[in-house]
Structure 1
Amino acid sequence: MKKLLILFLLGSSLSYGQRNFTIQETVFGARQFAPQNLTLTQWIPKERAFTQLDASYQKLQIRDAASNWEAKDILTSKELAEALRTSLNDTSEVKLSYFPTDYQWADKNSFYFTYNSATQHYFLRYDVSNRSVKIQAKTPLSATNAELSADRRKVTYLVGNNIMINDGSSTIAVTQDSVDGIVNGSDYTHRQEFGINKGMWWSPDNEKLLYYRKDETMVSKYPLIQWADRVASVKDIRYPMAGMKSEEVTLLVYDSKTKNHITLQTGEPKEQYLTLCTWDPSGKYIYVALLNREQNHLKLNKYQASNGELVKTLFEEQSNSWVEPLHALQFLPNKNDQFLYQTDKDGFNQLYLYDTEGKLIRSLGHADVIVESLGDFSADGKKISYTGITNSGLDRQLFQVELNSGKTVQLTHESGMHQASTSADGNYVLDQYSSQTVPNRINVSNTKNNQTTVILEASNPFDGKIKLPKIEAVSLISADGQTPLNGRIIYPPDFDATKKYPVMVYLYGGSHAQLVQNKWLYGAGYFDLYMAQQGYIVFTMDNRGSDARGRDFTRVTHRQLGKAEMADQLKGIDFLKTKSFVDQTRLGIFGWSFGGFMTTSFMVHHPEVFRTAVAGGPVIDWKFYEVMYGERYMDMPQENPEGYKSTSLLDKASQLKGNLLIIHGAQDPVVVQQHSMEFIEACIKAGKQVDYFLYPTHEHNVMGKDRVHMYEKIAQYFDLHLKR
C-alpha cells in the first residue's frame, strides 16, 4: 500500500481537569460543544446588510457595512408577539418562546414568518416600518405539505391524501380520492428520489396548481408490526421491491378559476419517473424530466399547460449505467426563454445554459468543480453564485459565474468548508468557514478591494473540558491503483506508539454520503471520538461509490454493489496493518444502513479480517430493497441475476466467523426488517451464532435518548470482544 499523505490535524492538550465524553454526549454533545456561531444569518434584499438572531434566540439583529458590521437590535420576540396579538385579534396571550427561526426577508422592509395557534398554522408578513403583522394565509394544524402561491394569497396543502386550497376566505377541495393507494400532491412520490422534495407547484400567475397523482394500488403492501396496543396491530406501507410492480405517477394541472383538471400527456410506459417539474415564467408551459424505469434514459419534455399536450422533447440524456436528475430547472430572472440545467454527464455535476427550444447555449462548468448547491442571481441577473466541491471532495468553496461568457470567479479561497453568500449588489461575501483546525470563523469580504472584516472567531470548545483525541488525515489509493481516497485516523488521547491498540473501523460506503470532509473534527462523529477515548484506534475512509467525487467515482459500483467498495476498504485495512501500534487480532467494524450491508458483507466475504462487527439496519439482499434506489445501482433482478446472487449475503451465512451484532428498528420502512430476519434464519440453518437486538418503536434510525442506549450497547459489544 502506497501512502500518499498523513497530515497531523488535531491533538489534545492534556491540561488539568480535562475528561472524556460521557456516553450521553455521544448523542447530545454536538449541541453542547458546538463552536460559537451566528444564528440564521440572511442578507436583506437590496441592502448591504444582513440579519441574525442573538444567542438567546430572542432578538433579530442587523449588521451592515455602514456600522462596520456591528450587531444592532431590530426587533424582539416579545415585540413581535404583541404585533401578532393585534393582527390575530386574539384576546388571549400570544407567546413566542423564541424569535421565529423560519423568518425570511421579502424585501428590505418586511419579512415572512409562521405561527401556530391552538388550531391554525398562520403564514404571516411583518412590516418593519409600521411594526405590524399581516395574515397572508392559514391552514389547519393537521395539514401537511403546505405550498404558498407566489403572491402568498393562496395556500395549498394536504389533508390525508387529498389536496385543499385556502384563499383566505374559503377552502376548496382540489381532490377527493378515497381509494387506499391513491395519493395526491405528496412529496413522497418516487420515494423522494430524483431530487423530489415537493408534490405541488403553483403557476407564476397564482391561478393554477401542478401536482403529482400517485397510484400505488398495485404495489405490494408491506406489514410493520405495531407493539403499543394490548394486541399488536399491523400498519401497512406500500413497498415496491426491486423487480416488482412499481407505482404509476401522473401530473395534473388544476385551474382554480375554472375548477378544471387536465393531465399532462406523459405517455407510456406507466412505470416511469417524473421529476424536475418546473413552470416557465410565462405560465404557458411546464417542463418535466421523464426517466425510464431502467434509469438510463432521460427526456426533458415541454408541455402545454392549458391542455397538457406535449410540445416537444428538448433534449435527451442516456448512460450505460444511470442518469440521476437531482435539481429542478432554474430560469434566468431576465430571460424567460433560458434556463439552467444540472447534470454530471461530462464527469462532474455542473451547470448548462439552455434555451426553451432545447438548444445548448453554453456549458458553465469550471474545471472539475462539482456544483453542490445554487446560490442567488446577481441583481442584474447576469451572474449566479454556487457552492462548489473542490480538493478531491474535501472542500466547499463559493464561485460566481457570468452567464453570458461562462467566466468563473472563486470568491472564497482558504481550504475548508465554506457556507457563503453574496449581498444583492455583489460587493460583499458573508462567509462561514471551518476546517480541520478551525472550529468556526465568520467574516465579510469586500469583493472590490479584498478587505475582510472578521465578525466571529470561535475558540476550541473542548479546551479545558474534554481530552480531544488526535485526528490525522489519510490519503490512500483505491483498489484500481489510481484513484485517491480520503480517510482519517483518530488516536486515543494518551496514545503510545509502543503499545498495541484494538481498532474500530467505522464506514458507510454508499452513494450520496461522505464521512470525511475538511471541516471541524474532519467530519468525525462524537461516537468516533468516544471510542478513541476508550482506547481504540478509529479509522474511516470514503471508498469509491461514495459522494462528492464525480460520475466515474460512483459508477464503478453499477450492478455489483459492495464489490469495489470492499476492495477499497481492504486497502485501508492493509494500511492499518502496516502500523506497529495496530493489533491485527483485534479489529472491529461498525456501519449502519449501507454501512450495515458493508459490515455484514465483510464478515462473510472476508471473515478473516475482523474479529467483531456491529451492523445496523443492514441491507442483506438487494431483492428486498425498494425499486427506485435498488434498480438504479443493481438493475432489476431479472436483468442482473448474477449481480444479485453475488451481492446477496443469505447464501454466505455459512462463511461467517467472529462476533456479529445486528441491530434493527422494528418499524424500519427503508431497510425493512425482513433483511435481518432472513439473515438470522440463514445463520441458524448454517449453525452460526449471531447476536441480534431490536428497537421496537424506531424506524431506520434510532433517535433521542434511545440512541444513547444504542451507542452504549455497541461500545459494550466491542469492549466485550476486543479488549483484553
Structure 2
Amino acid sequence: MPRPYTRQRGEEEIDVEDVARDPRPGMYAPNQLSWASDDRHIASLLAEPGAIAPQLIAWALDADGRMAPARPSVQPDFSFAGPESPAFETRMRRERPRSWTDGIKCYSWGQAPGSNTIIFQANGSVYIQDGVGAEPELIVDAQTHHAGLAGGPILEPKLSPNEQLLAFVRGAEVHVLSLAARRGGAAAGSGSGAAGAAGAREGEAHGGSGMTAVMGAHRADAMPISPPLSHERSADAMRDSPSPFLLGVLPHGEPPWRVGVVPIQRSIGASPGAAMHGHIEFRAAEELERYDGYWWSTDSMWIAFQETDESSVPPFVIPRPCGELDDDKLAESIRYPFAGGNNAIVRVGVLAARGGADAPLWLDLGIEWERRPTPAAALSGDAAPLTDDAPGADTAPRADSAAGGARGSRKARSMEPTIPYAQPRKRPVQFTTQRDERSADRPAKKASHPPQPALGNYGSTGYARFHDGYLLSVDWGCRGELYVQVEDRTQRVLRLLRFAAPGAGGAWHVPQMSMPPLVGTVVIEERSTSWVDLQTCMRELSDGGVLWVSARSGFRHLYRYSAVGACEGALTAGEWVVDTIAAVDERANLVFLTASLGDVSQRNLFSAPLRARHGQPRACSPSELPDDALMGGPLPSPLPASVATSAPPSLEEPTRLTREAGWHEVEISHDKTRFVDVFTAVGKPYCVTVRRLSDGELLAVLYQTQDPRASRLPLPDPELDTVRSAQGDVLNAVIYYPPARFARPWPLLVSCYGGPGKQITANSWALNAAMREQYYAQEGYLVMRLDNRGSARRGMAFAQALRGQLGNAEVCDQVAGVKRLIERGLADANRVGVVGWSYGGYLALLCLAQAPDVFHAACCGAPLTFWTGYSTHYTERYLGLPDTNAQGYRSSSALSHVPKIRTSASLMLVHGLLDENVHFRHTAVLIKRLTQCRKTHELLVFPREGHILSEHEQRIYMEERMAEFFHVAIGAGRAAGRASASGSPAVGDKDPGRGGGGEAVGLSGRRTRKGR
C-alpha cells in the first residue's frame, strides 16, 4: 500500500502518538473514591499526568464537611521499578476490568465505626495503614511462601468488618490472617508484655499454636521502590485544589516488613482444573461485572465463598508465538464457556472465619447444573452448528451430559459426591418454608427445549428448579441473613433468595460433612419474555424489606418489597431509567438514586420518597409468557401489552440534587449529610467536589484536572445531535467537524460500537478526549458516533430490537445516521468508512457487507465473526441457545454476509493473537471465508497482545497503519485518485477561498517538527 503524504505538524496538533497514549488528555481523574467510616476522610486512586501507576491519596475534612488544613506529603510511591510480567492468572484478572497499570491497584477502608484504617495491595503484596498519618505496614508479602499453604498470587485481600482479621485468596483457597498481634503493637508470641501474650492467645484461638513466623522479612528484590517524587511535580498536579495526604508511601529507602502469625487456610478441597474456592469464573467478571469471590458477614464471624468447578468446560488453547514470556510457555489454556456448551458449576458455601480448615455449609441455589457437549461449531468456527462428524468436532474433550455417558467421566475425583445434584440426594432440610401461593397454582408449561428429567420444586416453595443457571450476587444482611441472586440459563427468570441467619448460638446446628445444603426462601422473582436486567441495586431495609430495581414497566425503576416478599409499590416511574441506588436514609424517608431523568445523555443525582404512595403494579403472570419463552426460541416483539405493564400514575417526580448538566458519579457519606460529586461534561474536564446532600451547596473542591495536554491539544467540543431511524426511533449521535479550511462535503468516518447495553454518546469530557475521533476530524474527516437500537438507558423496547438476531438493527441505524449527514450536505456519499473494536469490529464488518452502497471501507479490530464461538451468558442473552435458534445464529454471523462485500471495498483486520475474549480464530475463520469469496483485505496482527492492546508502541503502530488505510480508502488518497481520473480538483483543493485549500486529508505518521 502506498505511503500517504506526510506534512509537518505543529506542537499543538494531534498526532498518532497522542491517539495511542493512555490515559487520554484530561482523563486523569480520581477513581475508586470512597468515604472512611469516620466520614472525615475521602480516599482515591489517582495517577498524575504523565504517570501510569496511580497513587493512593486521601483528603481530610472538618466536622462541617469543609476541607481541613492541608498537610501535603511528598514521599516515594509504590510504582513498580521495571517491566512487569505478571502471572497468566493475574493478567486475566486485569483484562476483565481493563486495568493494566502497576503499583497500587485496589484499596478499602476499614468498616469499624469511626475508623480510618486503610488496606491496599501494591505489586502483589498487602499493606495496612492505621490512619492517614501512619506508615503502611506489610502484612502479607507476595514473595513469601509458607510450607503447607498454597502458593500463587494473592487475590482479593479484605479486612473483616471488625478489622481483626484479613482474608485473601491464594492457590485457589481462602485464607484468613489474624491481625491481633499488630493491633497489640508487638509481634505475635514475642513475649513482650500483655500485648505479646494477647497475640499468642489470639494465635491459638485462630487455629495455630501461638508460634510466630516472618510474614514479610525484607528482601532486596521483594519490593522495588521508585525514586522520590519531586515537590514541584506534586504541587503542579494539585494546583488550585486542596492538598491531599499521600497514603501508601514509605520513609525513603526503608522498605517495610512486618512479623505476624501464619495465615490459616480456611477452605479445603481445591483441585487444579476443577474446584477453586474464592475464585470467580470468566463470565462473572467479563459479563456480570462481579469481581468478588468471597464475602465477609457483617459480624465478622462468617465468610461466604464461591466454589467454581470448571472441569466440565473444555479447555481452549491460545498459542503463544512469542514464547519468551512466562518461562517460554508456548500456549495458554483457559476454560472458556462457549454458547450452547457447559458453564462452570458454581455453588456458595459458608465457613466460620476462625479455626482451622473445615467443611463448609453449602447453600442450595435451586439450580440443577447441566452437563452438555460443547457445540462443534464453537470449536470449529463455522457459522452454523456442525454435526458430530464435522471437522473440529472432537478438538476438545466433552463432559458427561445430563443423560449420562462415559466420556469425560470425573468419578476419580474425590470431591465428586459434594457437587450438588450430581447424584440423587435426599430431600434437603427446610430452614425456611415461605410459600408463594400464587406460584403453587401456576399451570405447567410446555417445554420448547428437549425433554429433561423432572427437576422438582425448590424446597416446598412451589418454584421450579432452574435447569442450569447463573450466580449473580451474594450479600450479607444486617441480621446475618444471606441474600443470593440467581437466574436461569435463558436469563428470563431471576430470583432473589434469602437464607436464614445462624441460630441463637451463633452457628448453624447441622452435623459437619453429612449436612444437607441450606435451603433459602424465594423473596422476589422477576420474569421476562426477552431477558431480565441484571440486578445490582438491591438494598436491604431495617424492617427486613428490600429496595429493588426492575424493568417490568419497560424502564428500570425502583420498587419496595416487604420482608415477606410482597411488593408495596413503585417509588419511581416514567420513560427514564434508574442507574444506581446511591444511598438510603430511612430516618428522612428518602432514597438517593442516579438516573437519566430529563436527558438520556446525562446522569444526575436525585432523591425520592422511600415510602410507596400507590399500589403495587401488576406483575407479569407466567401464563402470559409464550410457550417458547423458556429456551431461546423466537419471541414476539414488542412485548405484549399485558407484559409491558404501566407504572402507577402520578408518582411524585424525584428531586434533582446535582445542578450542572452533564455526567455525575456520586459517593454519599455514611451519615447521609454530604456527597462527593465527580462531574464532567462536554467541554468540562473532571472536577471532584464535596457538597451538602440536603441542598447541593459546595463545601470543598478536591480535584480539578490539571493535564497540560487537555489545554495544549485542539480538542474542540463535538456536537450532540439526534437522528431519526427508519423505524421512527430517536437515536443519539455525536458529530466531530473538521476545521473550516477543509471544503465539504467531507469524507465521513463512523466510529461505532453498537453492542447491547453500552452508551457511547454520554455528555462527558470523554467525548472531547476521544482522540481517534479528534485526530481524524483534525485531518479533514467528518466523524460520527451513534448509539443504535440496543444501546443502554433507553428502555426495554429499544433494547429488544436486537433480540433473536444481532447485526441487523444496528446496521440499519448506522445507515440512517450516515444518510442524514449526506442529506445535510456534510458528508461525501462516495467516501464513507467505519471503524470499530470488538463488537464494534463486528458491526463495522457488517456495515461493509450489508450496506455496500453506503460504506466503502472498514477497519475491524478484534471482530467477533461467529456467535457459537463466544461466551454463553452474553450470546444466549440475546440469541438464546444455538439448538433452538439456529437461524438466528446463522444470520447473525458475519461469515454469512462475506459474499455481499464488494470487490471495490477496502477492508482492514486488526487482532491480537493472545486475545482471551474474542479469540483470534474469529479473524482466522473470517480470512478463510474472505479468501474463498476472493475478497481483498489487509491484516494487522499483534503476537503479544490480548483483546485490548496494552503496549504503547504497538498502539502507535496500529494507529499509523489505520490512518494510512483510511487515507487511501476514503481520504485524500482516494480523492486524489478520483481527481486524476476525472480532472476535477481533490477535496483539499476545492474552494481555495474557504481556508487555504490544498492541505491533504487523512495524513498519518508521527509528529514532524521543524528541523527533523
Distance, in Å, in 2 between the alignment partners of 1:364 and 1:195 is 26
- The verdict on how the C-alpha distance between 1:462 and 1:122 changes in structure 2, with shifts beyond 3 A counting, is closer
Residue 453 of structure 1: CA displacement?
A: 6.2
Does the residue aligned with 2:844 lie in a helix, a strand or coil? helix
> Which range moves more in the overlay, 375-384 or 133-142?
133-142
Q: Show the 5 A alignment for 1:269-308.
A: 269-270=368-369, 271-283=468-480, 285-304=481-500, 306=508, 308=517
Query: For residues 94-105 of structure 1, what are the structure 2 equivalents within 5 Å?
Result: 102=107, 104=109
Distance in 2 between residues matched to 1:260 and 1:146, nearest whole Å: 22
Residues 469 and 533 in structure 1, CA contact (< 8 A), matched pair in contact too: no
CA apart distance, 1:214: 1.6
Structure 2 residue matching 1:553: 3-state secondary structure: helix
CA distance in 2, matches of 1:603, 1:160: 47
Q: Determine if the alignment matches structure 1 residue 154 to structure 2 residue 165.
A: yes
Q: Deviations over 1:443-500 (max 9, x none)?
A: 555566675568477799678733334622211122321x21110111112355x533
Deviation at 1:340, TM superposition (A): 2.1
CA distance in 1, matches of 2:27, 2:870: 39
- For the residue of structure 1 that corresponds to 2:364, the secondary structure is coil
Contact 1:137 1:155 in 2 (8 A): no
Which residue does the alignment assign to 2:93?
none
Is residue 547–residue 561 contact of structure 2 (8 Å, CA) maintained in 1? yes
- The 1-side partners of 2:56 and 2:811 are apart by 50
One-letter amino acid of the structure 2 residue matched with residue 22 of structure 1: D
1:345 to 528, 552, 561: 552
1:571 CA displacement: 0.7
Amino acid across the alignment from 1:629: Y
Contact kept? 1:429, 1:444, Cα under 8 Å: yes
* Structure 2 letter corresponding to 1:476: V
Whole-angstrom CA distance in 2 between matches of 1:328 and 1:518: 23
Answer with 339-348 or 19-28: which moved more: 339-348
Query: Unaligned stretches of 5+ in structure 1?
Result: 1-15, 82-96
SS of aligned partner of 2:523: strand
Alpha-carbon distance in 2 for matches of 1:224, 1:19 = 42
Q: State the shift of 1:44 in Å.
A: 5.9
- Superposed, 1:170-249 pairs within 5 Å as 170-173=262-265, 174-188=267-281, 190-192=283-285, 193-229=287-323, 233-249=330-346
When Rg is computed on C-alpha atoms for both structures, the one with the higher figure is 2
Contact 1:165 1:171 in 2 (8 A): yes
Q: Which amino acid aligns with 2:311?
A: T
Provide the rounded CA distance (Å) in 1 between the counterparts of 2:485 and 2:766.
39
Shift in CA distance, 155/139, structure 1 to aligned 2, threshold 3 Å = farther
Q: Aligned partner of 1:300: which letter?
A: L
Name the stretch that deviates more: 668-677 or 111-120. Answer: 111-120
What do the CA deviations read for 1:133-170 (whole angstroms, capped 9, x no partner)?
68696464631122332223222222232222222434
TM-superposed CA distance for 1:257, in Å, is 4.7
Greater mean alpha carbon deviation, residues 97-106 or residues 136-145: 97-106
Amino acid at match of 2:20: V
In the superposition, the TM-score normalised over structure 1's length comes to 0.85
- For 2:57 and 2:793, the matched residues in 1 are separated by 37
CA deviations 1:582-619 (Å, max 9, x no partner) are: 22111110001111110111122222222211001111
- Give the 3 Å change call, closer, same or farther, for CA 181–720 of structure 1 in structure 2: farther
**Matched AA of 1:636:** L
The answer on whether the counterparts of 2:746 and 2:782 sit within 8 Å (CA) in structure 1 is yes
| Rounded Cα–Cα distance in structure 2 between residues aligned with 1:25 and 1:552 | 39
For the 8 Å contact 2:537–2:580, the answer to whether it is kept is no
CA contact (8 A) 2:662 2:681 kept: yes
SS at match of 1:576: helix
In the TM superposition, residue 413 of structure 1 has moved relative to its aligned partner by 3.1
CA displacement at 1:34 relative to structure 2: 1.4
CA distance in 2, matches of 1:39, 1:315: 33
CA-CA distance at 1:519 after TM superposition: 1.7
Larger mean CA deviation between 576-585 and 595-604 belongs to 576-585
> For residues 290 and 220 of structure 1, what CA distance do their matches in structure 2 show?
24
Higher strand share: 1
Residues 265 and 535 of structure 1: CA distance in aligned 2, closer, same or farther (over 3 Å): same
Pair 1:396-2:603 in alignment: yes
Match of 2:518 in 1: 309
Letter in 2 for 1:610: F
Aligned to 2:214: none
Question: What is the deviation of 1:349?
Answer: 2.4
Report the residue type matching 1:675 in the other structure.
H
1:715 aligns with 2:960: no
Give the Cα separation in 2 of the matches to 1:301 and 1:435.
40
The residue identity in structure 1 corresponding to 2:928 is E
Provide the rounded CA distance (Å) in 1 between the counterparts of 2:773 and 2:362: 51
Query: Could you tell me how far apart the structure 1 residues matched to 2:168 and 2:814 are?
Result: 46
1:392–1:569: structure 2 CA closer, same or farther, 3 Å change rule? farther
2:661 corresponding residue in structure 1: 415
The 1-side partners of 2:916 and 2:933 are apart by 28
- Could you report, residue by residue, the CA deviation over 1:215-255 in whole angstroms, capped at 9, with x for unpaired residues? 21111211100123378722111112111222221111123
1:672 counterpart (902, 916, 919): 919
Is 1:277–1:328's contact at 8 Å kept on the other side of the alignment? no
Select which of 537, 544, 563 maps to 1:356.
563
Tell me, in whole angstroms, the C-alpha distance in 1 between the residues paired with 2:32 and 2:103: 13
Number of the residue aligned with 1:263: 362
Residue in 2 that maps onto 1:125:
130
For residue 144 of structure 1, what is the aligned residue in structure 2?
Answer: 155
Q: Is the 8 A contact 2:678 2:688 kept in 1?
A: yes
1:69-88 to structure 2, matched below 5 A, reads 69=66, 72-74=69-71, 76=73, 78=75
Q: Do structure 1's residue 34 and structure 2's residue 26 form an aligned pair? A: yes
Could you tell me how far apart the structure 2 residues matched to 1:445 and 1:101 are? 25
C-alpha separation between the residues in 1 aligned to 2:349 and 2:656? 42
C-alpha spacing 1:366/1:437, structure 2 compared with 1 (3 Å): farther
Moved more, 312-321 or 140-149: 140-149
Q: 1:185 to 1:586 in 2, by over 3 A?
A: same
Residues 71/589 of structure 1: CA separation in 2 closer, same or farther (3 Å cut): farther
| 1:176-207 deviation line (CA, Å, top 9, x unaligned) | 32242322211335442334221111222222
Name the structure 2 match of 1:475. Answer: 722
1:275-674 correspondence runs (5 A): 275-283=472-480, 285-304=481-500, 306=508, 308-327=517-536, 329-332=538-541, 335=542, 337-378=544-585, 380=587, 382-405=589-612, 408-423=654-669, 426-441=672-687, 445-446=691-692, 452=698, 455=701, 465-469=712-716, 471-481=718-728, 483-496=729-742, 498-520=743-765, 522=767, 525-657=770-902, 658-674=905-921
Q: 1:294 and 1:593 mapped to 2: Cα distance?
A: 24
State the one-letter code of the partner of 1:200.
Y
Query: C-alpha separation between the residues in 2 aligned to 1:133 and 1:213?
Result: 36
Match in the other structure for 1:90: none
Percent identical: 24
Deviates most, 373-382 or 486-495 = 373-382
| Matching residue of 1:5 | none
Name the count of aligned residue pairs.
684
Distance 1:358 1:504, change over 3 A: same
CA contact (8 A) 2:110 2:159 kept: no
Amino acid at match of 1:166: L
CA contact (8 A) 2:748 2:831 kept: yes
Structure 2 residue matching 1:395: 3-state secondary structure: coil
Q: Distance in 1 between matches of 2:105 and 2:571?
A: 37
- Relative distance call for 1:487 and 1:134 in structure 2 (3 A) is closer
Q: Aligned in 2, Cα 1:189/1:721: closer, same or farther, shift over 3 Å?
A: closer
CA distance in 1, matches of 2:289, 2:103: 32
Give the Å deviation of 1:661: 0.6
Kindly provide the amino acid, as one letter, of the partner of residue 359 in structure 1.
Answer: A
Residue identity opposite 1:655 in structure 2: K
**After the TM superposition, which of the residue ranges 680-689 and 603-612 deviates more from structure 2?**
603-612
Change in 2 beyond 3 A, CA 1:360/1:77: farther
TM-score by length of 2: 0.62
Query: Counterpart amino acid of 1:289?
Result: Q
Q: CA RMSD in A?
A: 3.5
- Judge conservation of contact 1:60–1:76 (CA < 8 Å) in 2: no
